Amino acid sequence: VPVLTLVFGFYGIGGENGVHLALGSSMASIVITSFSSLSSHHSHSAVAWPVVQKMTPGILLGTFLATFLVSLLSPKFLALFFAGFMFVVAVQMVLNLKPRNHGKEAGVLQLFMAGNFIGAISAIVSIGGGTMTVPYLMWNNVDIKKAIGTAAAIGFPISIAGTLGYIVNGWQKTSQENYTIGFVYLPAVVLISLVSFFTAPIGAKVAHKLPISTLKKVFALLLVALSLKMLFSVI
């Protein structure tokens, strides 16, 4: 999202809707990457499919409805919210803050409500939801590696609902922009999807081989860099 916002602004793509276009395009690119990632995690038997099944209805509803809210928010607010969210996640990873396993499995209603919340926040910052899904599943007695794989699977319905929502809400606002469908800029989606389709399986393999502490530190540094880039793009 920060990179797309910077590129769109430099080339004048999307005009005042540049941030919204970056969010929608990023969400659309997750469709392919999340499917590739969930396939890789599934091959490692690291997806709790019953949990995915129970969370998906809430995920679809929360994600889709949140895109309507996003369309009403200013680009600056969205950029600041994105940067703040990423910074909080980075701090959480560096300090290794995580909820304690309370030894109970979540019921259907709790998973539905959690899906609503995770889907809504994911739509606003245009992510696959893993930064929230993994800690939540760990709190609900799911092993860390299975939580990562399950979060990857949940990213797929998030991306589908989010992409549809961004298309619907941006349909009238970008009708004069070339190569766009709503808030989705097709050239960016194609390029990101092609590159990520081949790199996502590599990332999944690395996640299963490297120590968790190392993964967290690397990812935290990346999140800080992205949040700073997003801040500078709107200041």
Q: Does 225 reside within a domain?
A: no
pLDDT at 172 over 80: yes
Picking from 79-83, 134-138, 157-161, 223-227, which range would have the lowest pLDDT averaged per residue?
223-227
Residue 91 domain-assigned (yes or no)? no
The domain total for the chain is 1
Q: What percent of the chain has pLDDT over 90?
A: 40
**Domain-located, residue 219:** no
Does residue 232 lie in a domain region? Answer: no
Query: What SS3 class is residue 185?
Result: strand
Strand locations in 71-195 (E): 180-181, 184-185
Average pLDDT value for residue range 51-75? 95
3-state class of 45 per DSSP?
Answer: coil
Task: For residue 3, count CB atoms less than 10 angstroms from its CB and return exposed for 0-12, middle for 13-18, buried for 19 or more.
Answer: middle
Q: Which two tokens stand for residue 194?
A: 């092609």
pLDDT of the residue at 118: 96
Q: Which residues have C-beta within 8 Å of that of residue 49, sequence separation ≥ 6?
A: 153
User: Which residues span the domain enclosing 112?
Assistant: 2-85+98-209
Give the tokens for residue 99.
Answer: 């909820």
In a domain, 16, yes or no: yes
Output the pTM of the full model: 0.85
Output 49 or 229, whichever has higher pLDDT.
49
- State both tokens at 154: 């949940």
Bridge partners, residue 184, by sequence: 181
72 in a structural domain = yes
Strands (E), the chain: 180-181, 184-185
In a domain, 42, yes or no: yes
**Tens digit of each residue's pLDDT (9 = 90 or more) over 189-204:** 999 888 877 776 777 6
Spatial separation of the C-alpha atoms in residues 117 and 102, rounded to whole Å: 20
Once rounded to an integer, what is the mean pLDDT over residues 124-149?
A: 88
